[in-house]
Structure 1
């Protein structure tokens, strides 16, 4: 039935993925005050203050490097859509379990991409000892991992209950 507890967790995965798409994931301060590096679901940007050379005019705007990470946004959107689709597969719990397994793989890939971008690619920016700050989008992805594990657990519990009641008949 659609009013089972795993439905709530699958819906919360969808909400968490919407939050991850809408909010920044990570940021790190540069060596100078206004310089920052940002990672969102769609873009990785680095702002650096250009130091003027003697004899040249002073630049007031920071130089910006932007790298699109559309594949991260695509994976986040796919996790949200798959979990929303899994809500309506309540009559086939094995399909729901398979969809949760696919979600777990995609969430692992998302975490791998984020950790690579922040810990390795972002390490060269600014102070190498500073790892930066994880923001709302990152914690929404972690919450989605937890919700996915809980949804899978309750789907398996329902399947076990149904198989146990079939044996009694």
Structure 2
């Protein structure tokens, strides 16, 4: 039935993916106060302010470098859609288990992309010793991993209960 506890965890995955899509995932402030790098679900942005050359009476100019990471947003959306679909597959627990396995693979890929972008690509920017700060979007993805594992556990528990009651008949 739809009022099982795994439904709550699958819904929390959908909420966590919405949070990850709408909030920044990572941020790093460079050695100078005007240098920042930010990773969101759709783009990676580096911004620094270039000081004017000696003898030229102009103001400092901000320079922005943007890289589209649309595939990260696509994966986050796919996890949300497959979790929402799994909620309504309550009559077929094997399908729910398979969807949770697919979600686990996609969430692992998301974490790999984020860690590559932040720890390797972001290391070149600003202070190499500083790894930056993970923000609420990252922790929402970690929460989704936890909720996915819990949903899978309760789906398997229900399946075991149903198979055990079939043996008693």
TM-score, normalised to structure 1, is 0.98
Aligned residues of 1:35 and 1:62 also touching (Cα < 8 A)? no
Number of the residue aligned with 2:103: 103
Corresponding residue for residue 18 of structure 1: 18
Offset from partner CA, 1:23-60 (integer Å, 9 cap, x none) = 00000001211221000001100001213222334343
**1:112-151 paired onto structure 2 within 5 Å:** 112-151=112-151
In structure 2, the residue matched to 1:28 is 28
Indicate conservation of the 8 Å contact 2:21/2:137, yes or no.
Answer: yes
5+ residue gaps, structure 2: none
Moved over 6 A (4+): none
Worse overlay, 54-63 or 97-106: 54-63
Q: Output the CA distance in 2 between the equivalents of 1:151 and 1:57.
A: 62
Which runs of 5 or more structure 1 residues have no equivalent in the other structure?
none
Give, in whole Å, the separation in 2 of the partners of 1:67 and 1:120. 15
> How many equivalent residue pairs?
169
- Residue 46 of structure 2 corresponds to residue 56 of structure 1: no
Alignment RMSD, CA only?
0.9
Structure 1 range deviating more: 53-62 or 6-15: 53-62
Q: Calculate the TM-score normalised by the size of structure 2.
A: 0.98
Shift of 1:89: 0.1
